[in-house]
Homo-oligomer: A and B are copies of this chain.
Amino acid sequence: MLVTFDDARRLALDILRGAGVPDGHADTQASLFLEAELRGRPSHGLLRLARVVERIRNGVTNPLTKGAHRWRGDSLLLVDGEMGLGPVVAFEALSHLTTRARSTGVAMAAIRNNNHLGMMGWYAEHVAGAGQVFIGFTTSEALVHPWGGRRALLGTNPIAIGVPANPRPLVVDVAAGVVSMGQIHDYAHRGQPIPAHWALDRDGNPTTDAVAAKDGAIAPFGNAKGYALGLGIEALVTCLAGAAFGRDVAGTLDSDRACNKGDLFCVIDAGLGDATIAQVTAYLDEVRACPPGEGVERVLVPGDRAWRVREERLRDGLPVADEVWGRLTRLARELAGPES
């Protein structure tokens, strides 16, 4: 079904407030989910809302906190997320970084004990849209196998980069798996086989059975290179944040375990001027103008497609699975309680 942006937003806010989330925090969390829907990434959208509520109920998410901060030197912020809502803790940390980087040039936050961030690109866009540069990394449950190995031992460990450009910043957001576990669940849900080389089953054998892949491991993108990058990110983020490694990570896919992955954000303020931003823009336009290969309509810069989808959906509405919308409507009623 298609729902309007406003209806989807109202429902999300009702649910979050009903679960005890303060207005400002509900606004941040709802905006994140809605932006994911707008950009065609439902795996990071409303689908996750019910779990947020369950986690609050189960005491593994504290909707009130923005995290506790301690600077180590002038430029490194150590954050205990205190089990707060992922984007609430993240935005609070970012607000400290963007301010601090104005005077120090660079500021970084290493965050532990925080819930799921959602789309990393959202944070990159926020920072780069205001003229600063962003680099971010985060980890997750072990879902990706080492190159040549049979077991999932690495998180999906995305890296995100945000650089100012016009009319909107360049935002790159790349995870270490050849595909997301959400996409594999989609194939399983539709009863379709997955392409070869995407995943292993629980015994570590290659499979095209999406259901078998759900209990197995996703291949690293780009084979040995993507594996190396994902492993580097796992070690980098986890050691700085004081988080958990590999198979010890929990809390982004379940409803009852504390979230112990790590996040790492870096904000760089080099006082980029209009001339530099115009150079970035010109370069991106040159890439867009690259003659396309056989069967390719045109060359895209990361974010181009998502931005087009966003405009369409703001105008036409969000396609939300009936099942998801039905569940959320019931949840909202339940949370509104006997007085409604």
Contacts and interface: CB of A to CB of B under 8 A. Distances in A.
A18 interface: no
A11 interface: no
A300 interface: yes
A221 interface: yes
Contacts of A232: 161, 163, 170, 172, 174, 302
Contact of A280 (B106, B235, B276): B235
A96 B287 CA distance: 36
Interface in A261-303: 266, 268-272, 276-277, 279-280, 282-284, 286-287, 290-294, 296, 298-302
B239 A149 contact: no
Nearest to A247: B286
Nearest to A78: B270
A57 interface: no
A290 B145 contact: yes
A287 B149 contact: yes
Interface residues on A, range: 35 or more
A270 B72 contact: yes
A202 to B, nearest CB: 12
A239 B110 contact: no
Given A149-B293, A231-B301, A292-B149, A239 B76 contact: no
Contact of A286 (B159, B222, B233, B246): B246
B106 A172 contact: no
Nearest to A77: B105
A153 B290 contact: yes
B221 A226 contact: yes
Given A222-B222, A231-B302, A104 B75 contact: yes
B150 A236 contact: no
Contacts of A270: 72, 76, 78, 110, 239-240
Interface of A: 71-76, 78, 101-108, 110, 133, 135, 145-151, 153-154, 159, 161, 163-165, 170, 172-175, 178, 200, 204-205, 221-223, 225-226, 228-229, 231-236, 238-240, 242, 245-247, 266, 268-272, 276-277, 279-280, 282-284, 286-287, 290-294, 296, 298-302
Given A104-B104, A106-B108, A135-B135, 4 more contacts: A72-B270, A76-B106, A149-B292, A159-B229
16 contacts: A73-B106, A73-B269, A76-B106, A78-B270, A133-B239, A148-B299, A150-B291, A161-B235, A161-B236, A221-B225, A229-B229, A231-B287, A235-B284, A242-B276, A245-B282, A247-B286
